[in-house]
Structure 1
Amino acid sequence: MITFNLWRKVKQKLRRSKRPIWQLASGLLVSAALLSAAFHTEGRIDAAPIHGDEAEAPAQTQPPEDGSRSVIATLSDMRAKITVKIRRVYICGSESETIGVLSSSETIRMMKQHPEWTALLDEQGAVVMEQRIDDLSESCKRSAYFGIDKLGRLSLFDGEPKKEKVMRTFFQLDVNYMESSLPKDRIDELVKGIRVTDKDAFNSVLSSFGDYAVERTEKVMKRTF
């Protein structure tokens, strides 16, 4: 041990020494100081030294920026005018229009006034602001029909299903189960097309035929058996 060896050397030195007592006292004081330093050093001998790089706090990981923040950061470095568009996305249908050519500061101000919107830069470098609306678009209100596509999926059509203009597909229908559970006129109605003109009618049809989705009927059969 460091302290034991040092103390033994001090005692040997005292036995051989013929110096005056005041010199011995000074030597003892110095030795005591050395012992104290050795004791404290030994207490932390296992601790690895901390270098400058290691002493720095670990860098905090920042959450990834969403699209709108990225667009704002890009616009902050620009001074030129930029084309701004808005796209309204409905539960059925979408509409787009060009707002105009604005400065970067005007565009950022608009985005901050509508934090619920998301934004992105399209291939032409225009800013496209996207607004989600929980309703049917005007065009859907005029021509939307629920029906069955060629693959047996519940789909939303622009016009009667026979025109085959699918706007949106929802889920695969268990046709056999549906035919054994529903009246024939209800199935015929779906085949010809069920007209929807508002959100309530849209949700009602989606909910009523949701019971015949393949995934749901498979879960019911697994619970039964």
Structure 2
Amino acid sequence: MRIKLTVVLRTFIAAITVFLIMFIVQGTGIIMVGSAAKMDTFHLQQNGEPLYLKVVFERIYLDGEVSEEVVNESVSSLKEFWAKYDQWQLVDVNETKVTFRKNVDDISPLLKANGFFGVTHEGVLSIFNGKPERSRIIQSFFQIDIKKLESKKQEELIHGIPIKTKDHYVEVLETFKPYSTNDLQGN
């Protein structure tokens, strides 16, 4: 009985909260924009002038790299604005700035330009920004039992295996996964 009363009370409070938000929004001249995934508020310009926004685009790549692009945009139609970015996930919005995010099914431009697979002194398969012997680690994956590798594979890892495509990235990870001594996934 007590559990049912708690559920009913929480449902009632949620319904009242939604009603109050709708009432406040309607009374303040704020327009609710977008689908359920991107509900947020904007104030309408009273004089018909376009709305000037800073639009931030965050791209998250397979290798964990995040890039950010900032664009200043003049918005005359909120409906067109939301339609233009409907493939992006809304992360944050206020009166002057909108932040969108997208997961990109590819490796980052940084990896394509200067990424190398290699191993640390501890034998952890890692991606380096440049050749492994003198560069910083971008991402670490798992420890490898180097003794089980054929000498050619050992040499490749020591000198660095360049990463140019997503397919090659996946292929190298799959090649060395059987030599893993544990799963330290992530960085």
- The alignment's TM-score, normalised by the length of structure 2, stands at 0.63
Change (3 A) 1:151 1:71: farther
**Alignment map for 1:115-126 (pairs within 5 Å):** 115-121=86-92, 126=97
Aligned-partner Cα distance in 1 for 2:178–2:14 = 45
Change (3 A) 1:60 1:202: farther
Match for 1:173 among 121, 127, 143? Answer: 143
Match for 2:73 among 82, 91, 101? Answer: 101
Contact 1:89/1:130, CA 8 A, preserved across alignment:
yes
Deviations 1:6-31 (A, max 9, x none): xxxxxxxxxxxxxxxxxxxxxxxxxx
Contact 1:82/1:104, CA 8 A, preserved across alignment:
no
**Helix, strand or coil: the match of 2:56?**
strand
- The alignment's TM-score, normalised by the length of structure 1, stands at 0.53
Q: How many angstroms does 1:198 deviate by?
A: 0.8
Higher deviation after alignment, 193-202 or 130-139: 130-139
**Bigger fraction of residues in helix:** 1
Aligned-partner Cα distance in 1 for 2:120–2:81 = 41
Aligned to 1:134: 105
**Helix, strand or coil: the match of 1:127?**
strand
Change (3 A) 1:121 1:197: same
Aligned-partner Cα distance in 1 for 2:93–2:128 = 28
Aligned-partner Cα distance in 1 for 2:151–2:88 = 45
**Helix, strand or coil: the match of 2:154?**
helix
Change (3 A) 1:109 1:208: same
**Identical-pair percentage:** 23
**Bigger fraction of residues in strand:** 2
Q: How many angstroms does 1:157 deviate by?
A: 1.2
Q: How many angstroms does 1:151 deviate by?
A: 4.0
Contact 1:149/1:155, CA 8 A, preserved across alignment:
yes
Aligned-partner Cα distance in 2 for 1:212–1:61 = 52
Higher deviation after alignment, 154-163 or 207-216: 207-216
**Helix, strand or coil: the match of 2:179?**
coil
Contact 2:52/2:72, CA 8 A, preserved across alignment:
no
Contact 1:161/1:193, CA 8 A, preserved across alignment:
yes
Larger-gyration structure (1/2): 1
Contact 1:148/1:154, CA 8 A, preserved across alignment:
yes
Q: How many angstroms does 1:105 deviate by?
A: 5.2
Which fold has the larger relative contact order, with Cα–Cα distance below 8 Å and residues 6 or more apart in sequence? 2
Q: How many angstroms does 1:205 deviate by?
A: 0.2
Aligned to 2:55: 84
Aligned-partner Cα distance in 2 for 1:204–1:102 = 44
Aligned to 1:158: 129
Q: Which runs of 5+ in 2 are unaligned?
A: 1-7, 16-34, 46-50
Q: How many angstroms does 1:214 deviate by?
A: 2.5
Residue 73, structure 1, aligned to residue 40, structure 2: yes
Aligned to 1:149: 120
Instruction: Name segments (4+ residues, structure 1) moved above 6 Å.
Output: none
